[in-house]
Amino acid sequence: MSGFARARVAFTVLAAQLQDRPERLLVTIGAIALGIALSVSVTLVNASAADEFGRASRALTGSADLVIDGGRGGFDEALYPSVARRPEVTVASPVLETELALAAGGTLMVLGVDPFLAGRLEPAIYGDLASHFTGLLGARAIVLSAAAATTLNVGRGGTLRVRLGREERLLEVIDVLPSSAYPRPLGVMDLGSAQWTLLRLGRLSRLELRLAPGVDPARFGASLALPAGALIARGTDLEGRGASLRRAYYANLDMLALVALLTGGFLVFATQALSTLRRRAQFALLRALGVTRAEVTLAVVLEGALVGLAGGILGTALGWVIAREALARFGGDLGAGYAAGPGTPLAAPATTLVAFVALGVLVSALSSWLPARRVAALAPARALKGGDPEFALATSSGGRRGAGLLIAGGAIAFAPPLGGLPLAGYLSIALLLFGAVLLVPSFARLVLAHLPTRVGPIGRLALAQLQGTVAESAVSLAAIVVSFSLMVSMAIMVHSFRDSFERWLGGVLPADVYLRVAPGSDTVLLSDADGRDIAAIPGVERAELRRVLPVLLAPDRPAVALIARRLDAVSVDRLPLLERASATPADLPAVYVSEAVHDLYRVGIGSRLTLPVGGQGRAVVVAGIWRDYARSSGTILIEQGTYRAWSHDVASTDAALWLKSGASAALVGAELTRRLKLGASLELIETSDLKARSLTAFDRAFTITYLLEAIAVAIGLAGVGFAFASTALARRAEFGVLRHLGCSARQLKRLLAGEGALVGALGALYGLLVGGLLSLVLVYVVNRQSFHWSLDFVVPVGQLLLVALALVLAAATTARLAARGVLGTSAVRAAREDW
Amino acid sequence: MTAVLSVRGLTRRFTPDRPPVLEGLSFALQAGEYVAIMGESGVGKSTLLNLIAGLDRPEEGSIELDGRELTRLDDDALTLERRRSMGFVFQAFHVLPYLSVARNVALPLELLGWPAAEREARVNAMLAEVGLADSAARLPRELSGGELQRVAIARALAHRPRLLLADEPTGNLDPGTAAQVLRLLKTQVAAQGGAGILITHSRAAAATADRAFMLDGHSLTPLAVAG
Ligand SMILES: Nc1ncnc2c1ncn2[C@@H]1O[C@H](COP(=O)(O)OP(=O)(O)O)[C@@H](O)[C@H]1O
Ligand SMILES: [Mg+2]
């Protein structure tokens, strides 16, 4: 008979036990399913948001070999014929991209294209347009994407009211694209009409090129003489631009996915490990009956894999449902306000789903294998007597390995980002966490040895029991430590962020009222005359106008916000500066860059930078680095006078207003509306409102974080309950003896609650320490590399202590409840059975 | 007569700072012999059985089963010896609570790869021998202590082992039931053609064996209790 056949016999024996106690099997499968579901749902939400983003940008420029990109500022259309004439170019499609202000408020991205040329490059979007050729020639004709038609509530034949400066115009919607053409809101016009109607005569945003076969895009790109502000990009660069912006937004969710994966994986581990440990007498019997060590191990692993398969399938299905519901209700950013709203379609590739089922099988099999190896190696003579195997966590080599992982995790935290992602930071967190888990027994022994022993007989008993079973308690302790420390680290990061953000808001908003016009739009701007009107309003003490415009500094990165504003000594002093030049070189204009510019473009104090302004590259020098929580892709401040001299652009996008003391903001607002005639495009907000609104948005963005953290901790507690329930069964005889010796049932309950509280307290204490360590990585590595801004490290001491206390109470209650079934008379009888 | 089991110079020491539990112990067991080993609690009776069964390893000495030296075998080979040549009866029965009586008895045969039909015949025969023919489908929780130990005896002997090892098999039973079980054990060891070692601390139990010895850690002293 083959070893495998014997392992199968052993397996059927184990399986029979599971059938005999189906509730235990269900708990194990349920725990695995919960862990997997948590990871699956977060991952799918993330992937769906990424997928929608990717599809949108791929649809726009994905099949161009090369793009000459002028960003939002664009370049002169004279470039077009000179490039199109080159023999290497088969198709050159000129595009004007405009953020069009809508009369009802908000903006719409409108592309001006040549329908024939564009249709040859991106037939998926523009293929249908050729049939509207004549219709599209109308100066006010526009075709909308299905998403735009839905959000703007207009259909074919309807009209769209838009704002150009102080005037409103009507565009005619001549058709709506099928929803398969493009997933997000978009308008398409004829290039000439767009340039004419949207007041962008002679300008292009980009040229999309198809090259002749055999032409090397890089070499061809290098051969072109381009105006300042235009960059050579690959079609895929433009996708990467969106992705890098989105990636930062989702760093938080990525972290949560990691939390979910680790907590879920650890729950699987704890349940399987305990279920294996609990049945060691059965394994020993099988050994006595002549099943080899390898065969017992194989049987256990097989069982673990099957249980993992069931849990994996169930969990993946559950996670899929949760993700679909979350996307339908909250959208791809779960309501944080970064991405398009509700209704992001669920992207659930079969490979991802299969991978998660496989993960369930793998983690579960592995979690059975580690303790099974110990149990099988244990002298069967001892196991038959119910002796304790040295559990993997509790060995001295485990301690050494734990210390090694901690050191490795700490060292890796210093590695630079990989492909713009804080992967090393995440790896560091995982290593630190696993190292900390391996050190749980050492920590427990250390603390337990130093606890006061004058605590009454029941207290001493609880202490002795824990000291005697560090190996088993280590598993439930580790379950708490993993979930609680992750929660602590997230809480510290979010608190640090919120605290820094709040102080920053106080500093960067010195004025009383802020005014913006159609934020992000290219078609509504404030003129100097508007500025004078504003300043003339009674009640306005002073108005300061600013121009914000996006400039492209690298082909594969999102545009940096160039802000032209007054930068005298006083206003520079008010900036949240982190570093400042002692003396700026007098020969070049000074700029103040945000941390993101410093990180992404590797510039520091004194670095020279070339900015594309007014069609030319202009040299500037970095005189300071400041903190900007408003934009993670970078901000550059430049003196307004310098900018105007270079660009001859005297328009502004927003204004800060200081009011006379006693002036009513509401009255000033009404007067502004009347004088500026900008309709819904005028946005006014008082500083106090702006602060409150920003903080509310902040809190909403992190609601999902708190929710998932709570779930993670609940799962950790479930692990504790499970551990106590299973050891309580094994301890029936012990309880029986205690009853024989004169312990009351109430005392036994106190004993269990005491043990639970002790485990909870140990977990909370250790979790606080480990969480503090992880939060350093989160704040200084993950946050910095994702968002490119720094945080002040602030620990919410009171909040953490409160949660720790709740954890201790919950652990005590859980432990007591878990054991209630074995404290009655059956325990008294149990004593006679085996001793 | 050839020795089924031959133990020479066996030494087992658990802690370096205490004298060994067994030291230089030698004895032999002939085919078909059924002996009782008595001794005070903690003297090393179970330790001796564990060593013979290959569930534990001696520091010194040799153990030969049918002329095969066991102490030099690796764990897998020892496991094979147990599977083929030994049967066990424990004080705490260790009947798997979630398997039927028949499946418990069939377990060693399954592990040896017996075909289902032969297995079933053998299990039924064994259950009949121990008086549990009607209980094949019952679960252990419906059985009394004496019945459980009879299941364990049937399981221990189902594969006709050369050597049966019973460690205080009646320690958990009342005297009446114990006497029944002991009688059954003796007749079954003889009926299945093996040799047996019965560990006990009861003189009455020891008296059911062919010969009885007292273990004192170094030697086995014959006792005049057998009848
Ligand atoms: N695995 C072990 N580790 C340490 N000491 C042991 C172990 N097994 C047995 N002993 C000790 O060896 C001695 C003999 O035990 P045992 O053979 O079980 O006695 P008994 O004769 O009662 O069956 C006892 O003192 C016991 O404490
Ligand atoms: Mg004993």
Which neighbouring-strand residues pair with A823? none
- Of A60, A129, A127, A128, give the one whose Cα is nearest residue A95: A60
Calpha distance B168→A189 (Å, rounded): 95
Residues of B in contact with A380 (CB under 8 A): 55
Calpha distance A812→B215 (Å, rounded): 49
Do A213 and A345 have their domain in common? no
pLDDT in tens, B186-225: 988 888 778 999 999 888 899 999 999 999 878 889 988 6
Predicted confidence at residue A338, as pLDDT, reads 45
Chain B CB within 8 Å of residue A1 CB: yes
Total tally of structural domains belonging to chain A = 4
- Of A470, A179, A199, give the one whose Cα is nearest residue A189: A199
On whether residue A281 sits in a domain, the answer given is yes
Predicted confidence at residue A173, as pLDDT, reads 92
Chain A CB within 8 Å of residue B93 CB: no
Predicted confidence at residue A177, as pLDDT, reads 87
Fill in the DSSP letter of residue A418. Answer: B
B 32-91 residues inside an 8 A Cβ radius of A: 46, 50, 53, 55-56, 75-76, 79-84, 86, 88, 90
Domain stops at, among A620, A647, A677: A677
Calpha distance B170→B93 (Å, rounded): 9
Do A3 and A57 have their domain in common? yes
Q: Which atom of ligand 1 is nearest to the CA of A379?
A: 1
Residue type, B215: L
On whether residue A367 sits in a domain, the answer given is yes
The answer to whether the beta carbons of residues A765 and A440 sit under 8 Å apart is no
Do A281 and A356 have their domain in common? yes
In order of start, what are the domains of chain B with their CATH numbers? 1-66+163-176+193-227 (3.40.50.300)
On whether residue A685 sits in a domain, the answer given is no
Do A82 and A46 have their domain in common? no
On whether residue A270 sits in a domain, the answer given is yes
Calpha distance B208→A798 (Å, rounded): 73
Residues of A in contact with B88 (CB under 8 A): 288-289
Domain stops at, among A631, A647, A677: A677
Do A490 and A603 have their domain in common? no
Ligand nearest to the Cα of B214, by number: 1
Residue type, A610: T
Backbone angles phi, psi at B139, to 5 degrees: -100, 150
Give the mutation target among B10, B22, B46 for probing the ligand 1 site: most ligand atoms within 8 A of CB.
B46
Residues in chain A: 835
Name A125's Cβ contacts closer than 8 Å, sequence gap at least 6: A59, A60, A118, A177, A181, A182, A188
Do A669 and A725 have their domain in common? no
Do A119 and A259 have their domain in common? no
Q: Which helix (H) or strand (E) holds A612?
A: strand A608-613
Residue type, A492: I
Calpha distance B213→B216 (Å, rounded): 10
Task: State whether A1 and B113 contact (CB < 8 Å).
Answer: yes
Calpha distance A24→A275 (Å, rounded): 9
> Tokens 């408020």 identify what position?
A105
pTM value is 0.72
* Helices A22-61, A3-20: crossing angle, 10 deg rounding: 100
**Nearest CB to B92 within list A21, A294, A834:** A834
**CA distance between the termini of chain A:** 37
Predicted confidence at residue A337, as pLDDT, reads 46
Predicted confidence at residue A379, as pLDDT, reads 61
Which neighbouring-strand residues pair with A547? A564
Calpha distance B136→B122 (Å, rounded): 12
Calpha distance B47→B58 (Å, rounded): 10
Residues in chain B: 227
CB B55: neighbour CB atoms within 10 A? 23
Chunk chain A into consecutive blocks of 10 residues (it has 835) and report each block's average pLDDT, rounded to whole numbers. Answer: 77 75 76 81 78 69 79 85 89 90 88 85 74 77 90 90 88 88 86 88 89 85 81 68 53 64 70 72 80 85 89 92 82 51 69 88 84 70 52 61 93 87 86 90 88 73 75 75 86 89 85 84 85 88 89 83 89 87 82 92 90 87 90 89 91 89 87 84 85 81 72 71 67 66 73 86 93 93 86 92 89 80 53 38
Predicted confidence at residue A392, as pLDDT, reads 45
CA angle B211, B216, B217 (to 5 degrees): 115
What's the token pair of residue A743? 């312990």
Please name the residue whose Cα sits nearest to atom 5 of ligand 1. B14
Calpha distance A289→A13 (Å, rounded): 12
Domain stops at, among A233, A267, A302: A233
Chain B interface, mutation test: which of A6, A13, A289, most B Cβ atoms within 10 Å? A289
Task: State whether B111 and A292 contact (CB < 8 Å).
Answer: no
**DSSP calls for B95-134:** --TTS-HHHHHHHHHHHHT--HHHHHHHHHHHHHHTT-GG
Q: Predicted ipTM?
A: 0.78
Q: How far is CA B119 from CA A342, A654, B112, in A?
A: 64, 90, 10
Name A41's Cβ contacts closer than 8 Å, sequence gap at least 6: A260, A318, A319, A320, A322, A323, A326
On whether residue A320 sits in a domain, the answer given is yes
Do A291 and A271 have their domain in common? yes
On whether residue A396 sits in a domain, the answer given is no
Range in A421-425, A455-459, B42-46, B152-156 with the lowest mean pLDDT:
A455-459
Do A74 and A160 have their domain in common? yes
- Of A465, A428, A425, give the one whose Cα is nearest residue A448: A465
**CA distance between the termini of chain B:** 22
What's the token pair of residue B39? 């001794």
- Asked if residue B61 has pLDDT above 60, the reply is yes
* Domain span at A194: 66-233
CB B149: neighbour CB atoms within 10 A? 30
CB A765: neighbour CB atoms within 10 A? 16
Calpha distance A111→A135 (Å, rounded): 16
Strand bridging mode A187-190 / A141-144: antiparallel
Do A199 and A310 have their domain in common? no
Task: State whether A290 and B55 contact (CB < 8 Å).
Answer: no
Strand bridging mode B34-38 / B211-215: parallel
Name A802's Cβ contacts closer than 8 Å, sequence gap at least 6: none
The answer to whether the beta carbons of residues A451 and A765 sit under 8 Å apart is no
A 290-349 residues inside an 8 A Cβ radius of B: 290-294
- What is the 3 state secondary structure string of A554-608? CCCCCCEEEEEECCCHHHHHHCCEEEECCCCCCCCCEEEEEHHHHHHCCCCCCCE
CA angle B17, B19, B23 (to 5 degrees): 140
Calpha distance A91→A818 (Å, rounded): 72
- Of A600, A594, A577, give the one whose Cα is nearest residue A628: A594
Name A526's Cβ contacts closer than 8 Å, sequence gap at least 6: A517, A545, A651, A652, A653, A654, A655, A676
Do A504 and A562 have their domain in common? no
Calpha distance A559→A552 (Å, rounded): 5
Calpha distance A42→A48 (Å, rounded): 10
On whether residue A155 sits in a domain, the answer given is yes
On whether residue A827 sits in a domain, the answer given is yes
Number of inter-chain CB pairs under 8 A, A vs B: 75
Calpha distance A452→A463 (Å, rounded): 10
Do A650 and A733 have their domain in common? no
Calpha distance A210→B82 (Å, rounded): 77
**Nearest CB to B94 within list A13, A19, A285:** A285
Task: State whether B79 and A20 contact (CB < 8 Å).
Answer: no
Calpha distance B107→B114 (Å, rounded): 10
- Asked if residue B44 has pLDDT above 70, the reply is yes
